[in-house]
Amino acid sequence: MNVIEVVAQESGEPGAALPHLAEIVVGFIAFAVLVFIVGKYLWPTLVRSHDQDVTRLRDGMERAQSEYDDAQAQLERSRARLAEVDNEAARIRDDARADAERIKSDLADNASDEAERIRAQGRQSVDASRARTVSELRTEVGSGSVELARRIVAASLSDDTAKSRSVDSFLDNLESMSGRSNGSASTTGNGVGA
């Protein structure tokens, strides 16, 4: 059994559990006024507020998506720039290595050329010194030969004993000059070679 049947049995009247007609009419009118007020004033405000919230959310999501897309594009540009910087750094390193190798090669070539120039100057100096020494020896040997020839001629004109002595003396002088010339040449050769 339900509540209405229990109330009707206890009171003895069949409609005792039902509200009076005036209560139903007043309740209906009050409900209609409430629906009208809510529908006329409150509901549009709620709908407008809801629409504004939805619009704000949609705009926010669009802005967020736009900012995300911009951030992605910026990230790609940054990655591209970073790759360019890496490539540029690699190119600069390679250029620097090539320049270092070229400078090293140039320095080695310059050093080799300078060493060859110094060797050539040394050879020229040795050749000049040798020529000077040979010239001095020729002059010395020539003047010694003239002096000996003068003595021989003078001695040969005097007597036979003197002739033989002068020939022996000439031969001794020639031997001593020959030994002295060899000694001078070897000393000069040693001095230049050192």
What does the pLDDT look like over 84-122, one tens digit per residue? 999 999 999 999 999 999 999 999 888 888 888 899 999
- Note whether 134 and 189 are within 8 A (CB): no
How many whole angstroms separate alpha carbon 41 and alpha carbon 32? 14
How distant, in Å, are the alpha carbons of 45, 75, 83, 191 from that of 87? 61, 18, 6, 63
- Note whether 188 and 131 are within 8 A (CB): no
b/e for 154-163, b at 16 or more Cβ within 10 A? ebeeeeeeee
pLDDT in tens, 148-171: 777 777 766 666 676 677 677 878
With tokens 């007609």, the residue in question is 21
How distant, in Å, are the alpha carbons of 8, 9, 16, 118 from that of 3? 9, 10, 11, 133
Q: What is the dihedral of CA 112, 113, 117, 123, to 10 degrees?
A: 50
pTM for this entry: 0.36
Would you list the domain boundaries of the chain?
23-154
